[in-house]
Amino acid sequence: MARALLASFADNLSLRDPDAPLTGGQFRTEILSGLTVALALVPEAVAFAFVAGVEPLVGLYAAFIVGLITALFGGRPGMISGATGALAVVMVSLVALHGVEYLFATVVLMGLIQIVVGIMRWGKFIRLVPHPVMLGFVNGLAIVIFLAQLGQFQVPGSAEHAGHGMANGEWLSGAPLILMLALVALTMAIIWLMPKLTTIVPAPLAGIAIVAAIVIGFGLDVPLVGDLASIEGGLPAFHVPMVPLTWETFEIILPYALILAAIGLIESLLTLNLVGEMTGKRGGASQECLAQGAANTVTGFFGGMGGCAMIGQSMINVKSGGRTRIAGTAAALFLLSFILFASPLIEQIPLAALVGVMFMVVIGTFAWNSLRILRKVPRTDAFVTILVTIVTVATDLATAVVVGVIVSALAYAWSNAKRIHAITRDSRTAEGAKVYEIQGPLFFGSSDGFMEIFEVEADPELVIIDFANSRVADQSALQAIEAIAQKYEEAGKQIQLRHLSRDCHKLLSKAGHLMIDSDDDPDYALAVDYSVRTGIIGGH
């Protein structure tokens, strides 16, 4: 299994998407899209580093390393990964209690856990996430991205270490606020109008460039990227986390690593599905798990805070025309070049331009049609969509998805539990016998309803239970059959079971009963007699 996944890695190392011929124009689009993403990554990485309580370069190195490795080996070309707020809010308590070295060790362990998940191919279980949960995830993330930008409307330096969206700093007001809002609106207008004029340059990049030129040309006093922090630095250096190699250390970092691995994979796999819907691609879940794991393991050894897929930057890339591994690779390399060579220039970019880009991402990400269909879909689906949206905003993505899946599963179980009923008639083959034709699945949720169907005292001496339109699903169902048979025995009556499917035979065999398969019906077993007195199910 691991060898097959590694072979898949090798096959996908090509930067070009074999399904999309790479022309000169497409190559230019990929590079420019990568540049746009890199510019949007800078303030995000810095802000999330502040949230986690670490230096800005720790976030920037994570964005570079995670972004590069997942771009080269990830399960979905066009998807962007880097330092994220969902992980940063978990890391902050670890850093505060134990220091940044423990964070690096945790990120390494987090990556190893994700590699195991990829090798075991557990990423495929993302298929169990229902569509209402996906809608809630998308809407919740759009709201989170929007709220995260509000932190840029604070006076530079007033809440530097509070991170995105924190309201404990001094907010812009008066003329500075009006100027900031005007530049944000101008950026959004450029992004909206640019595709109508030309597609040579990605609209977000054009918006950033034009607004930055206006600010620099007219010397406008507005918040700049450099007001967050300096992004100047060197190449990330190999660094073994300086923590004691003891069981106590393992006990400290393991809970954090498990939570971070789960959050990172859930966000990455849901983003993978979302990007897949936009680009018409499927699969790649296990490969994405391996890529995320490898990226975080390497990041931990090079002084990065770890990361996962970023829905905002992924949407920027896809909508700017990025479809291959070139765009993600270019974004990572551009980000590194900013750190090494171009920090003075990048620090002059106005935050308003980047906020405008992210606001357009919010508008494009939010599933507006979900508001229209809320009254048309089943109430349970509407409730799950709203619930996941609220929990995503209030807590974190992993909690929201788990809550949504559990609620959806319980709703499904309850719906199926109510379906159990029976059609009764006189037997055509056994005179004086009564037939119960069971309708609906028989499982733990419907076993009580199954028991209530029968009228033991009023039934004749022979009762036939026909499962042709039902299915015995689990041990609770078997126990319900045992219990109803016991009631008929105590009443001095006999029952027969008919049309149990072959998987039911397997369940009954595992439960210790002897089953005889039908020779003339390969899909369903022939009618069988149930004898409670001998404890054996035999041929009819």
Q: Flag whether pLDDT at 529 surpasses 50.
A: no
Residue 250 pLDDT: 96
The residues pairing with 224 across neighbouring beta strands, listed in sequence order, are 350
Same-domain check for residues 358 and 411: no
Query: Is the pLDDT reported for residue 419 higher than 50?
Result: yes
Report how far residue 506's alpha carbon sits from residue 501's, in angstroms, rounded to the nearest whole number: 9
Is 181 inside a domain boundary?
no
CA 15 to centroid of chain Cα atoms? 25
Is the distance from CB of 360 to CB of 204 less than 8 angstroms? yes
DSSP state of 423: E
Q: Please, which residues have CB within 8 angstroms of residue 71's CB and are 6 or more apart in sequence? A: 80, 81, 325, 327, 328, 329, 331, 332
**Within this chain, do residues 451 and 302 fall inside the same structural domain, yes or no?**
no
Say yes or no: 353 and 500 in one domain. Answer: no
The verdict on residue 177 lying in a domain is no
Same domain, residue pair 40 and 64: yes
- The 10s digit of each residue's pLDDT in 84-108 is 888 888 898 899 999 999 999 999 9
Query: What pLDDT was estimated at residue 291?
Result: 96
**Count of beta carbons in the 10 Å neighbourhood of residue 237:** 9
Domain membership flag for residue 56: yes
- Look at residue 192 and tell me if it is in a domain: no
Q: Look up residue 364 and give its amino acid.
A: G
| End-to-end Cα, the chain, rounded Å | 46
Residue 487, domain CATH? 3.30.750.24
- Can you read off the two tokens belonging to residue 61? 């190195």
Burial of 510 from C-beta contacts in 10 A (0-12 / 13-18 / 19+) = exposed
* Helices of type H across 374-513: 379-394, 397-417, 447-453, 475-490, 502-510
Angle ∠(44,45,51) on CA atoms, nearest 5: 90
Q: Verify that 332 and 399 share a domain, yes or no.
A: no
Closest CA to 266 of 93, 399, 145, 382: 399
Number of domains in the chain: 3
- In degrees and rounded to multiples of 5, residue 254 shows phi and psi of -60, -50
Extended strands (E) in 412-461: 421-426, 434-442
Q: Do 318 and 278 form a contact (C-beta atoms < 8 A)?
A: yes
Q: What is the pLDDT of residues 485-518, one digit of tens each?
A: 889 888 988 888 888 766 666 655 565 543 333 3
Asked if the structure places residue 95 within a domain, the reply is yes
Q: Is there a single domain that holds both residue 239 and residue 119?
A: yes
* 108 shares a domain with 39: yes
Considering the domain architecture, whether residues 432 and 403 belong to the same structural domain is answered as: no
Q: Are the C-beta atoms of residues 294 and 115 closer than 8 Å to each other?
A: yes
Q: Is residue 179 part of a domain?
A: no
Predicted confidence (pLDDT) at residue 307 exceeds the cutoff of 60: yes
Cβ(274)–Cβ(310) below 8 Å = no
Among 416, 309, 380, 411, which Cα is nearest to 136's? 380
pLDDT at 91: 92
Higher pLDDT among residues 494 and 69, named by residue: 69
Name which of 353, 332, 404, 442 is nearest 80 in CA terms. Answer: 332
Q: Are residues 273 and 353 in the same domain?
A: yes
Looking at the domain assignment, is residue 98 inside a domain?
Answer: yes
Q: Would you state the pLDDT for residue 522?
A: 33
pLDDT score at 482:
83
**Could you tell me the pLDDT band of residue 525, with boundaries at 50, 70 and 90?**
very low
Of 367, 399, 430, at which residue does a domain stop?
367
Residue 528, classed as helix, strand or coil, is: strand
Query: 251 CB contacts (<8 Å, ≥6 apart)?
Result: none
Segments forming the whole domain that contains residue 300: 2-8+27-154+200-367
Residue 539 has pLDDT above 50, yes or no: no
Residues above pLDDT 90, as percent of the chain? 46
Q: How many whole angstroms separate alpha carbon 499 and alpha carbon 486? A: 20
Handedness of CA 218, 220, 225, 226 (dihedral sign): positive
Within 200-284, where are the H helices?
Answer: 203-218, 225-228, 247-279
Give the pLDDT score at 145.
Answer: 85
Q: What is the pLDDT of residues 446-496, one digit of tens each?
A: 888 999 999 998 999 899 888 888 888 788 888 888 888 889 888 988 888
Higher confidence at residue 110 or residue 412?
A: 110
Q: Which of 416, 445, 477 is the last residue of a domain?
A: 416
Q: Say what the pLDDT of residue 158 is.
A: 53
pLDDT for the residue 65:
97
Backbone angles phi, psi at 434, to 5 degrees: -110, 135
- Contact call for residues 163 and 51 (beta carbons, < 8 A): yes
* Same domain as 281, residue 266: yes
In this structure, are 384 and 426 located in the same domain?
Answer: no
Residues 222-281 pLDDT 10s: 999 988 888 999 999 999 999 999 999 999 999 999 989 988 998 899 889 888 888 777
Q: Calculate the average pLDDT of the chain.
A: 84
* Closest among 246, 359, 374, 241 to 299, alpha carbons compared: 241
For residue 253, being part of any structural domain is answered with: yes
Same domain for 342 and 401, yes or no, is no
Report whether pLDDT(171) > 90: no
| pLDDT at residue 282 in the model | 76
